[in-house]
Chains A and B, each alone.
Chain A
Amino acid sequence: MASNRVVTRAAGRRDLSRPGSSGRKRRSGPPGLTPPGPTARASKGVFLFVCCSVIIIPLISVIATSLADEKQINASGGFVLWPSHPTLQAYTTVFENPVVLHSAFVSICITLVGTTLSLACTSLLAYSLSRPGTLAHKPVLLMVLFTLLFSPGIIPSYLMVKELGLLNSYWALLLPVMLDGFNVIVMRAFFLELPQEILDAARVDGAGELQTFWRIVLPLSKPVLAVVGLFSAVGYWNNFFTALLYISDTTKWPLQLVLNTYVVKQNSLNLKFIPGHAPPPPESIQMAILVIAIVPILVAYPFIQRHFKKGVLVGSVKG
C-alpha cells in the first residue's frame, strides 16, 4: 500500500517534469501542469492546517472542559484542551436537573416526529407532482415554486400560528417548518428520473398508487430520502427560531432555548448537588449542556456526509 503510493507520487513527479505529456493520466491533483513549488505546497499545508484547527480545537476543548475537574479548569483559566482527570460529574449533575433532561427529551421527540412527518408530506406531494398528467399538478407545482421566491414574513406567520391556537404547543415547532418547497422540488426531480417502465409495469400488474409508491418508488429512492430526511432532522434539532417565536412556556422548551438561557445568557441553573462532594465548576456544567446539543450532530455527521454532497448538487442543478 505504502510502496504503491510512493510509485504514484514518483510517477506524478515525472509527468510534472514533462508538461503536456501524460497529465491526463493523473487522476487526482491540480488541474494545471506547472508543479507547485515546495514553498507553495508548504504554505498551502500550513494554511489548511490552521483552518481545520480553528474548527476542531474549539470542539475538542468544549468536550474536554465538560469532562475536566475544577482544579484543572481553575489552573487553565476556564478552558481545557485535554482533561487530566476526566470526570462525568458535570453530566450527572446536569442530567439530574429536570430542565435540561426534559428539554433534551422534547428536542429528541420533535426531531423524530418532525422528520418522519416531514418526509411523508414531502415525498407524497413530490410523487403526486411527478406523475404525468395528474389533475391540477401544474398549478400546484407553481404554488410550490412560488414559495421559493416569497416568504410571508415573521409577523403574519406568527399571527397564523396564534390564530390556529398553536402558541405554546409542540405542533408550533413541528408544522410551520414541515414542508420546504425546495425539498419537494429536489424529490420530484429524483422521482422523475426513476425508470417509468417499472411504475407502469406495477400498474399493469394491478398495483394501486399507494402500493406503487410504497413498494416500488420509496425503496428506489433511498438516497434522496436519506438526504432530505437528514437535513430535516438537523433542522428540527437545531431549530431555535420557531421555538423562540412560538414557545414562551418554559416547561415546553426544546434544548436550543435552554442552551440559550443557561449557556449563552449564562443564567445559572438550579442544580441539585450531591452532599459531601464539591459541585462541578460552572464552566464544565455549561460545556456539558453544549455537548448534549452537539453530540447527536457529531454522531449523525458521518452518515450525513456520505449523502449531502449529492443532495446539495442535485438541488442546485434541478432547483
Chain B
Amino acid sequence: MGTLTASPRPATGGGRKQALKSRLRRDWPLLAFGLPGLLLLVLFQYIPLLGNVIAFKDYQPYIGILQSPWVGLSNFSVVFNGDPAFLNALVNTLEIFVIQTIFVFPAPICLALLLNSLLSERIKQAVQSVLYLPHFLSWVVVVAMFQSILGGAGLLNNWMRSQGEHPLNIIGNPELFKWLITSQVIWKDTGWAMILFLAALSAINISLYEAAAVDGASRLRQIWHITLPGIKGVVILLLILRLGSVLSVGFEQIVLQQGPVGINASQVLDTYVYTNGVLDGAWGVATAVGLVKGVLGVVLVLGANKVAHLFGERGVYEG
C-alpha cells in the first residue's frame, strides 16, 4: 500500500477527499469498465431478488408483478399447513442430504489421505488427472452413461439376461433412487472435492511427523494426531458451506432422472419449485417455497458459522 501515496491517483485512504465532480471526471473510465458487469448483476441477481415479492402476491402474468394483488402469507400455507406434496419434497430433500453427507462428504477426505500417502509423485499426478476428469462432464452425460450401464437395456442387465437371471431394475426403482443419485455424485465429484483436502494436507509441517515417528507413533496414530487435526479447519469450513445447501440437492441431476422413478421418490424442493412454478404456473406458491428454502439456507450457514466460532474455529468468515 505504501506505493500508493506516490501514485498520481490519490487513494481515498490518503485523506484527500475530492469533490464528487472531480472524482467523477477522474474515475469515469473505471466506472464505465464496471458498468456491463454491474448491469448483469442488477438484472439477474438483484431485481430477481426483489422479484421474490410475488411470494406475497397472487401473481398474474398478464398484469405483471406490480399490479398483481397482495395476498399476505396465503402462498405460504402449503409450507405451514404441511401440504402432502410439499412435505414429500421436503422429506426427500432432507433424506438425500443426510445420505450424501454421510457417504459423499467423507469420500474425498479418505481419498486425499490415501493419495497423500503414495510414494511416487508421478503415480499421484496420473491418478489425480483421472479422478478430476468426471467433474468436467455435464450431468446429462453422466446420467446417460449410468443408464447405458445400469439401465433396463444396459450392460449389466444384458449380462444378467445372458446368464439366465432376471434383469435388475436399478434406474427405475424408487427405493434405489437416492442411492443411485448418491453414487453418481460420488463418481462425478469425489476427485474434484479432493483438491482442497490435498492442499490442506500438503500444508502440514513434515517435521511433526518426524517428531511423532521418533516418539514411536504408528502410522495410524500419526494420522489421528497430526493429519486429521491438520485438516480440521478445512473440513469444518466445507461442512458449514454444505449446510447452506442442505435444501438444494442436485437439481439438474434429479430432473434428468425423475421420469422412470416417479415424483414420489424423486421430488425435492428445487424440482417442486420448478414443476409447480415454471411448468404448472403456481407462481406464488413456488416462489414462497423457494424463498423459505433460500432464507433457511442462509440462516443455517450463519448459525453454523456462529457455532464454529464458539468452538474456537475460524469458520467461513471472521467476526
Interface residues of A (CB under 8 A from B): 12, 19-20, 23-24, 27-34, 36, 41, 44, 47-48, 51-52, 54-56, 58-59, 61-62, 65, 77-79, 120-122, 124-125, 127-129, 131-136, 140, 143-144, 147, 149-160, 162-164, 175-176, 178-179, 181, 184, 196-197, 200, 203-204, 208-210, 213, 234, 237-241, 244-245, 256, 259-260, 263-265, 283, 286-287, 290, 293-294, 297, 301, 304-305, 308-309, 312-313, 316
Contact = CB atoms under 8 A, between A and B. Distances in A.
Interface stretch (B87-95, B174-182, B202-210): B202-210
Task: Sort A-B residue pairs by CB-CB distance and give the 10 closest, nearest first.
Answer: A77-B158, A125-B37, A156-B51, A238-B138, A152-B48, A209-B29, A153-B290, A33-B213, A156-B48, A28-B121
Interface string B167-187: 000000000000000000001
B263 interface: no
Contacts of A77: 155, 158-159, 161-162
B117 interface: yes
B109 interface: no
B185 to A, nearest CB: 14
B6 interface: yes
B74 interface: no
Nearest to A80: B155
Contacts of A184: 37
Given A52-B127, A196-B7, A200-B3, A23 B210 contact: yes
A179 to B, nearest CB: 4
Interface residues of B, number: 115
A210 B141 CA distance: 41
Given A47-B114, A124-B34, A158-B278, A36 B120 contact: no
A154 B283 CA distance: 10
Given A23-B213, A149-B298, A301-B133, 4 more contacts: A30-B119, A128-B33, A132-B9, A160-B48
25 contacts: A20-B210, A30-B116, A30-B117, A31-B209, A33-B210, A48-B118, A78-B154, A78-B155, A125-B37, A128-B33, A134-B31, A147-B45, A154-B270, A155-B54, A156-B49, A159-B59, A196-B7, A234-B136, A238-B139, A238-B140, A240-B256, A241-B251, A260-B140, A293-B140, A297-B137
Nearest to A204: B8
B65 A133 contact: no
A44 B210 contact: no
A209 B44 contact: no
Contacts of A56: 130
Given A62-B148, A77-B162, A153-B48, A135 B119 contact: no
Interface in B16-31: 20, 23-24, 27, 29-31
A240 B30 contact: no
Given A154-B278, A259-B141, A33 B209 contact: yes
B140 A256 contact: yes
Given A34-B219, A264-B147, A55 B133 contact: yes
Interface residue SS majority, chain B? helix
Given A175-B43, A290-B144, A124 B33 contact: yes
Given A128-B31, A155-B273, A312-B195, A176 B44 contact: yes
A151 B116 contact: no
A309 B153 CA distance: 39
Given A29-B119, A256-B140, A290-B144, A152 B155 contact: no
B136 A28 contact: no
A150 to B, nearest CB: 6
Given A62-B148, A203-B8, A234-B136, A32 B48 contact: no
A212 to B, nearest CB: 9
Given A33-B210, A154-B274, A264 B155 contact: no
A143 B41 contact: yes
Given A33-B210, A157-B44, A294 B141 contact: yes
Nearest to B12: A133
A122 B144 contact: no
A62 B137 contact: no
Given A24-B207, A132-B9, A154-B274, A290 B141 contact: yes
B287 interface: yes
Contacts of B4: 132, 196
Contact of B41 (A31, A147, A265): A147
B48 A157 contact: yes
B34 A28 contact: no
A19 B211 CA distance: 10
Contacts of A48: 114-115, 118, 123, 127
B48 A179 contact: no
B149 A150 contact: no
Contacts of A52: 127, 130-131
B34 A129 contact: yes
A175 B301 CA distance: 28
A154 B34 contact: no
Nearest to A54: B187
Interface string B272-287: 0110011000010011
B54 to A, nearest CB: 7
Nearest to B237: A316
B229 to A, nearest CB: 13
Contacts of B46: 143, 152
A62 B7 CA distance: 59
A301 B1 CA distance: 38
Contact of A124 (B36, B61, B145, B287): B36
Nearest to A58: B145
B35 to A, nearest CB: 8
Contacts of B209: 23, 31-33
